[in-house]
Chain A
Amino acid sequence: MGQTFSEKVLGRKAGRPVGAGEVITAVPDFYLSHDNSSAIIGEFRKLGLARVAAPDKIVIVLDHIVPAADEKYAQNHKTIREFVAEQGIRNFFDIEHGVCHQVLSEASFALPGAVIMGSDSHTTTYGAFGAFSAEIGRTEMASIWATDEIWLRVPETLRIEFRGAFAPGVSAKDAILKVIGDNGADRANYEAVEFAGPAAPEFSLASRMVLCNMAAEMGAKNGYFAPDAKTLGWLASRARGPFEVVVSDTDARYEAVLTYDLSMLEPLIACPHTVDNVKPVSAVAGKPFHQALIGTCTNGRFEDLEAAARILSGRKVHAGVRCLILPASRSVYLEAVEKGLIATFIKAGCVVLNPGCGPCLGAHEGLLAPGEVVVGTSNRNFRGRMGARDSEIYLASPATVAASAVRGTITDPREFA
């Protein structure tokens, strides 16, 4: 019987063959934390240790509330900067870099076969590059800082096979919304989700990141695309160290295999207040809203901004709508500046925010008043997440959000084709 990717990677860490369900102790390759590092520092201090076990494996990105929105956040950032200096942590990315998941990917921490633990729920994103990456809590991160070890249960794997090609106006976000809508927000709880099938190689790396990012919204421990020529091409000039491509055996055992034909998909939207409340955009078309959000760690890469700019170019954001643009990283932002996208957005009446988590998690800028509605490209629409308890969040692709921003009501992007 063959093994899945996750069984193989964790078996290498355990030093013996392992199967789904076994609990192993692993030494991770990298561990990510962000603004929550100040809380982790507090937990780490309780252990009474002077030094972290492996400073070069710690990666800290300040992205959640950047620049600091008030004195408390400023103090958190200061505490983190002091700890970074004290412990000699080299992989520190201060507020100018962008969302952690984009930054770690660009800086090629996300290597095929690497084991990455992150104290952020969308740590699943690095599976787009063939890494094993999963979220953990703050206390657990403090324990890893101290020991360079973590216990992990080897997950079962849900395999999702794609075939066919997207119709115009349909993209990776619609594909993952389809999967989550059909199968529920807990379908992959405790599981690995492997994206495969004849259409898998057609997905750009940015699109693979969308799917792996949102695997978290079906409860997954990690997401995964097998590395291919696109992955290796991306890494050729930037891999920070040696890596080994790990892929599932052809006779690996899966918990289930689901199949989707991409050519059958239409633009989809997740309606309040759960990510699996997915409907065709056409079913809610015409609904007025107040704020559009294009960007985030889910859909803030160049191809996403490009899809939005194609629709916004030469048009104006509707008078009743505030349209926020949130590039995922400084490098995405710079490319968007150099290729004229930012000028397009500004001329259309958008507000361009600095790269970071922005309004997505509801901690600072761009929050919603009671009764307001946002249509965004982010990954969660839980009640109250982006502001008032009785505000509403709809989730869709960059094209759908851009088309809706122009029209002032939820709009199928194919109308702008």
Chain B
Amino acid sequence: MSAGRVWKYGDDINTDVIYSGKYTYQQLKPEEMARKALEDLDPLFAKNVRPGDVIVAGKNFGCGSSREQAAACLRYAGIQAVVAKSFSRIYFRNAINLGLAVLQSEDAPDALKTGDPIEIDFPNGKIMSAGRTFSFFPLPESVLGIVEAGGLLEWTKKKLSIRG
């Protein structure tokens, strides 16, 4: 369990505002990518984000492009999880593959606001903030193996070694 602060955003946060197309085909270093995170949505984010902070958003987080830097840049910025009412298919898949926790919660997004303290209890599926408790859906079993392996590349390495 670790504590952080909430960065609250709305519905349909798209991949262009999470990580701009003008950087997508440049190969930036992780710390440079972290500085570009949410540039077109919230210019204060990259300057003030701290390790352990959590993004909380509405429905369809990560809609748009298949660019996986939109997941990677948040992880490099120190975000421990994104909590949203729902995720776009490709964002969910990319985040899992890159080891960014994406948690689907019905009740937390409406209740939390920017600056709220937040703690996530991953094993028990609980989100806590100032005495309030919320829940999130556990990850589907089909993707747990990838998360447990530490992301898709590690999972693939394991698969290749089993095949010989």
Contact = CB atoms under 8 A, between A and B. Distances in A.
A185 interface: yes
A153 B25 contact: no
Contacts of B15: 382
B88 A137 contact: no
B94 A137 contact: yes
Given A47-B156, A139-B68, A143-B153, A190 B89 contact: yes
Contact size range, A: 35 or more
Interface in B5-47: 12, 14-17, 20-22, 24-27, 39-41
Given A137-B97, A186-B63, A151 B24 contact: no
A363 B152 contact: no
Nearest to B61: A186
A314 B153 CA distance: 57
Interface in B55-111: 59-60, 63-68, 71, 86, 88-90, 93-94, 97-98
A153 B146 CA distance: 14
A140 interface: yes
A189 B98 CA distance: 21
B22 A46 contact: no
Contacts of A43: 153
A385 B153 CA distance: 30
B141 to A, nearest CB: 9
Contacts of A48: 157
B52 interface: no
Nearest to A44: B153
A65 B16 contact: no
Interface in A119-178: 119-121, 123, 135-140, 142-143, 146-147, 151, 153
A47 B63 contact: no
A65 B151 CA distance: 29
B90 A64 contact: no
Contacts of A38: 27
Contacts of B90: 121, 135-137
A389 interface: yes
A52 B71 CA distance: 26
A135 B66 contact: yes
Given A136-B90, A186-B88, A121 B65 contact: yes
B48 interface: no
- For A36, A120, A186, A274, which residue has the most chain B Cβ atoms within 10 angstroms? A186
A47 B157 contact: yes
Given A43-B153, A47-B160, A380-B16, A121 B64 contact: yes
- For A138, A139, A185, which residue has the most chain B Cβ atoms within 10 angstroms? A139
A139 B152 CA distance: 7
B24 A363 contact: yes
Given A135-B90, A186-B86, A147 B21 contact: no
B142 interface: yes
A255 to B, nearest CB: 14
A42 interface: yes
Contacts of B159: 147
A136 B89 CA distance: 10
A72 B160 contact: no
- For A140, A146, A147, which residue has the most chain B Cβ atoms within 10 angstroms? A140
Interface in B127-142: 140, 142
17 contacts: A23-B140, A38-B27, A42-B27, A47-B153, A65-B25, A76-B27, A119-B66, A136-B93, A140-B152, A143-B155, A146-B160, A147-B156, A185-B60, A186-B88, A190-B89, A362-B20, A383-B17
Interface of A: 23, 35-36, 38-39, 42-43, 46-49, 64-65, 72-73, 76, 119-121, 123, 135-140, 142-143, 146-147, 151, 153, 185-186, 189-190, 219, 221, 274, 361-363, 380, 382-385, 389
